[in-house]
Chain A
Amino acid sequence: MRAIKEVFINFKRSGFLSLISMGTIIVTITVLAGYYLISETVKHFMNELQNKVEIVVFLVDNISKDKIDNMITEIKEFPEISEVVFISKLDAYQEFAQDKEMKQILDSFEGNPLPDSIKIKLKDHTKKSIEKLTKFLNTKEGVLEVQYGGKDIENFLNIINVIKLITAVAGIIFVIASILVVSSIINLTIYARRHDIYVFRMVGATDLYIRLPFIMEGLIHGIIGGVIGWVVIYIIIKILSLQIQKEMGINLLNFYIFRPEFFTVKFLIGCIISGAILGFIGSLLSQGRIRGDYY
């Protein structure tokens, strides 16, 4: 109780410094929360996309039925496979011909230009298993081409990974910066209160008794910073989604992180705990000063 009272007395005394300390934590929490949101979005996006990824094996003309059946049997032996469907060139034509424009294009050819194909759906969407399967398929006789929609996704993911890396680096820099700022500000407080600390020591106060208000100060700055950081990231996401909807007509509420339910109590608690840890470490780093650096 005494320690908390002292924190508020100190806030009244040097409110501007306390605001700088909290401001730094707010920025850090916002960046860290931003990183978390990007990661979660990518994860969610990946899951949705990967479920739609399929490998299509185009076959050469006049391939025998036996060869096709053998190939399907061999493909089914891979544990990563969930479904294998043979689509004859006739079936493919009928499917494409349902679209008027496609039908016009197809009609411009002499006969059916579409090849026979095998559609493969996967259980395991990792790059490794896709590569393993495509490598196998490319060695098979009668295979014209192996395609999968993963290339575009891979490129997109590469961009996302770069963004994630930049955010992570920025996050680390902000974490270090905020710890140093909190530590420096508490150092200034300790320096400003060196006379009081000396008196406390002289009347027999223990180290903990003297340190506790400064530790509490870091913690409280961190907790307040965490809460405000959460609010800031919420506002940023809201503004961003409204702006994108207005400018581009995309309803971002369809995306996971823009849904109100994403901003859960758990996420808020995460922000508060992160802020508290930053404030705590910052205040601990400054504590050496109490042991007589100034007195």
Chain B
Amino acid sequence: MVNMIKFKHVYKIYEKDIRALDDISFEICDGELVFITGPSGAGKSTILNLLYREDVPTMGTILVNDTDISHLRGGKISKYRRSIGFVFQDFKLLFDRCVFDNIALPLEIVGTNRQYIKRVVLEYIKKIGLSGKEKLNPWHLSGGEKQKVAIARALITSPSLILADEPTGNLDDFSAWEIITMLLDANKTGTTVVIATHNKEIISRVGGRVIKLDRGRLIQQ
């Protein structure tokens, strides 16, 4: 398999020599399912932030599909992000828009045809079991439903990479498993899925590769 993501001796050092990441190197192949785990403050979210180009490393190189993403600027960052789906622990939905508009957002910003948006978004709403709730404001949804909307939004553009930061953190066991199943389904279709979590039960049930961190250092991959 082709290496999609390469971390080469990556450091992220904040003020007062706080090392969020300390000489991290690993590779993730195209279509792989990877869990990044470790206790709070281990550096899981920092890795996702770097991968999402929300931040840049202090030292080292991050290659995604052979592109050094630290060197991306302006419009290229936006374009890069469109190739990624991101799922957050706190859902990051827009609460002045309905379920339909939240899911449609990534298509809307690239100016996709309205008819196409309508058809695809309704298909996804059906797939996540929220048919009939498309005009609801996300406030009226349960935590699990909100996360389903967030996943549908992440998948709507068929990205090659999905990054999920503690996607089950705020959910009960049943909803958490539903969310993980959705991510696994995406992985089955060839999408690379990187999940940051400290939920050992999910990791042991799913299996898959685990990258383990502790205080910014890589201790298992």
A-B contact pairs, 6 of them (CB 8 A): A196-B94, A199-B93, A201-B78, A202-B92, A204-B109, A204-B110
Per the bound structure, the CA–CA distance linking A199 and B153 in Å amounts to: 11
Interface string of A200-242 (1 = CB under 8 A from B): 1111111101000000000000000000000000000000000
Are B105 and A9 neighbours in the complex by a CB distance under 8 Å? no
* B208 CB within 8 Å of chain A: no
Which residues in chain A, 1-44, are within 8 Å of chain B measured between CB atoms?
2, 9, 13
**Chain A, interface SS category:** helix
Q: Which residues of A contact B81 (CB under 8 A)?
A: 201-204
Are B153 and A203 neighbours in the complex by a CB distance under 8 Å? yes
* B82 CB within 8 Å of chain A: yes
Are B74 and A199 neighbours in the complex by a CB distance under 8 Å? no
Among A9, A198, A203, A207, which residue has its beta carbon within 8 angstroms of that of B82? A203
CB distance from B75 to the nearest CB of A (A): 6
Among A9, A198, A199, A205, which residue has its beta carbon within 8 angstroms of that of B78? A205
CB distance from A202 to the nearest CB of B (A): 6
Contact A203/B105 with A9-B96, A196-B96 known, Cβ cut-off 8 Å = yes
CB within 8 Å of A: which residues of B? Answer: 52, 54, 74-75, 78-82, 86, 92-94, 96, 105-106, 108-110, 153
Specify the chain A residue showing the minimal Cβ separation from B154. Answer: A203
Q: Which residues of A contact B106 (CB under 8 A)?
A: 203-204
Q: Which residues of B contact A202 (CB under 8 A)?
A: 52, 54, 81, 86, 92
Are B96 and A203 neighbours in the complex by a CB distance under 8 Å? no
Q: Which of A196, A202, A204 has the largest number of chain B CB atoms within 10 A?
A: A204
CB distance from A172 to the nearest CB of B (A): 35
CB distance from A205 to the nearest CB of B (A): 4
Are B92 and A199 neighbours in the complex by a CB distance under 8 Å? yes
For the A-B complex, the count of residue pairs with Cβ-Cβ distances under 8 Å equals 44
CB distance from A200 to the nearest CB of B (A): 7
Among B54, B75, B79, B109, which residue has its beta carbon within 8 angstroms of that of A203? B109
Specify the chain A residue showing the minimal Cβ separation from B106. Answer: A203
Q: Which residues of B contact A198 (CB under 8 A)?
A: 92
CB distance from A90 to the nearest CB of B (A): 89
Are B52 and A209 neighbours in the complex by a CB distance under 8 Å? no
Per the bound structure, the CA–CA distance linking A209 and B105 in Å amounts to: 12
Are A199 and B94 neighbours in the complex by a CB distance under 8 Å? yes
Per the bound structure, the CA–CA distance linking A9 and B95 in Å amounts to: 13
Given contacts A203-B109, A204-B81, 17 further A-B contacts (CB under 8 A): A196-B94, A199-B92, A199-B94, A200-B109, A201-B78, A202-B54, A202-B81, A202-B92, A203-B81, A203-B106, A204-B79, A204-B106, A205-B109, A206-B78, A206-B109, A207-B75, A207-B78
Specify the chain A residue showing the minimal Cβ separation from B86. Answer: A202
Q: Which residues of B contact A196 (CB under 8 A)?
A: 94, 96
CB distance from B72 to the nearest CB of A (A): 12
Per the bound structure, the CA–CA distance linking A218 and B97 in Å amounts to: 23
Q: Which residues of B contact A209 (CB under 8 A)?
A: 109
Q: Which residues of A contact B52 (CB under 8 A)?
A: 202
CB distance from B146 to the nearest CB of A (A): 13
Q: Which residues of A contact B92 (CB under 8 A)?
A: 195, 198-199, 202
CB distance from B84 to the nearest CB of A (A): 8
Q: Which of B75, B86, B93, B109 has the largest number of chain A CB atoms within 10 A?
A: B109
CB distance from B82 to the nearest CB of A (A): 3
Q: Which residues of B contact A207 (CB under 8 A)?
A: 74-75, 78
Q: Which residues of B contact A2 (CB under 8 A)?
A: 108
Specify the chain B residue showing the minimal Cβ separation from A9. Answer: B96
Per the bound structure, the CA–CA distance linking A245 and B80 in Å amounts to: 70
Q: Which residues of A contact B110 (CB under 8 A)?
A: 204
Per the bound structure, the CA–CA distance linking A209 and B81 in Å amounts to: 14
Specify the chain B residue showing the minimal Cβ separation from A12. Answer: B96
Specify the chain A residue showing the minimal Cβ separation from B91. Answer: A199
Are B75 and A206 neighbours in the complex by a CB distance under 8 Å? yes
Among B82, B94, B96, which residue has its beta carbon within 8 angstroms of that of A204? B82
Q: Which residues of A contact B108 (CB under 8 A)?
A: 2
